[in-house]
Amino acid sequence: MTDKIKVAIVRHNGLFMGGTEKFLQIMAAEVNKDKFEVDFFTTNAMRFKDREKYLKDRGVNIIKFHKLNWRNFPKLWMNKINYFWFWLKFKKNYYDVVQITNFSWDEYPYNSFYGENVCQFVVFAPFCDFPCIKLSILNSQWLKDKWVSTGGNADEAVVIPVPTWKPLTDENMRKELGIADDVFVCGFHQRKHDDIFSDVQLKAYGFIENDKTHMIVLNGSDLYKKQAEELMIKNITFIDYLKTEEDMSRFFNTLDLYTHGRKDGETYGTIFVEAMIHGVPCISHLSGIQDAMEETIGKGGYVVERNPNTYAQKISEVMSMSKEDYKQLCEDARNESLNRFTYDVVIPKIEESWKYVAGRTSERPVF
């Protein structure tokens, strides 16, 4: 019997709910444990116990290390001191695969792994050269093209999207939010950062709002609350945080249209595939910065120019569809996710990639 492939996934704040961290968690949790042994190195944070449970329940060994935050030293020495406890726990020659992240800047300690078994998840372009990378994983062809155009090696890179879980419930949140069944509900959720705030989607919604429409904003910058007040939007609900994936299913089941907007766009857009698996079509706008949205959404919705009027017109078109046409749009959205983004489709690609990095096959995967 072939020995299991030993994998180390390394990410400070690795239990967080950001897109990068969730992808690494999914990698760790969902690969076949008869074939892979996974150690997940993360800082010793007490938050997100549900994510820790998710990993442990699926046979992942979580190794926590304390990260200091001393800032009164030259950068190199500061970083080495900050990650002192990690290097004490990391067994350099034990692993067949070391899985790291690359955010397109020279980030320690991810730029300090040496060997022939390093796999990097490239989150952003442009290309940033880390030593000894055997394979690079990127979430979209759009991102790969940008990365290659700035120096990345196309021959040692594969496109693997972040997969989505299938709906965990048929229930929705309309009753508890006081939203009638015949109301057309738009909504989105976003990280609580002002620097990704987009003023497009609420402006667009404001143009078409009536007594039979409602907007839901989950998490997101407080600038959305300020904007809603300035626009005098009446039918809007703000939700601070939902802890579980079942609650997220209920959120998506409440929506008729996922109305996305983000200042810097998306290099992939996990949120689209999560919405579409619930049969919710999506709309977004171009950013001029990161614009992989059309590739991800496919037939499951629309991407328009960064213009509130154009965005509002597209919402109106969806609201005015016949029942048959809207039902078909919802089916197209669901099929985009089912055919391209489920665990059944994506996890085998992760496994093939790690086999290649570990030297268990000489054939580089092609996806």
Q: How is residue 61 written in tokens? A: 């060994």
User: Are 353 and 254 in the same domain?
Assistant: no
Q: What is the pLDDT of residue 66?
A: 87
Same structural domain, 52 and 134: yes
Evaluate whether residue 48 is within a structural domain. yes
Instruction: Write out pLDDT tens, residues 132-167.
Output: 999 999 999 999 999 999 999 999 999 999 999 899
Residues 159, 43, single domain; the answer is yes
Claim to verify: residue 178 and residue 327 sit in the same structural domain = yes
327 and 347 belong to one structural domain: no
Cα three-residue angle 181-213-301, rounded to 5 degrees: 90
Q: Is the peptide bond before 109 cis (omega within 30 degrees of 0)?
A: yes
The mean of the pLDDT values for the chain is 94
pLDDT, residue 70, reads: 56
First to last CA, the chain: 28
Residue 164: how many CA atoms within 13 Å on its side-chain side? Answer: 27
- 140 & 66 share domain: yes
Bridge-based pairing of strands 61-65 and 36-43 is parallel
For 311-339, what is the mean pLDDT? 98
Give the model's pLDDT for residue 329.
Answer: 98
CATH number at residue 180: 3.40.50.2000
Asked if residue 154 and residue 286 are part of one domain, the reply reads no
Percent with pLDDT over 70 in the chain? 95
Quick: pLDDT tens for 57-68. 999 999 999 887
Examine the domain organization and report whether 200 and 91 are in the same domain. Answer: no
Give me the domain span that covers residue 236. Answer: 174-340
Specify if 208 maps to a domain.
Answer: yes
Written as six digits, the tokens of 326 are 């809207």
Identify the three-state secondary structure at position 202: helix
Do 55 and 148 have their domain in common?
Answer: yes
Q: Which pTM was predicted?
A: 0.92
Name the β-bridge partners of 136.
120, 157
Any domain includes 366: no
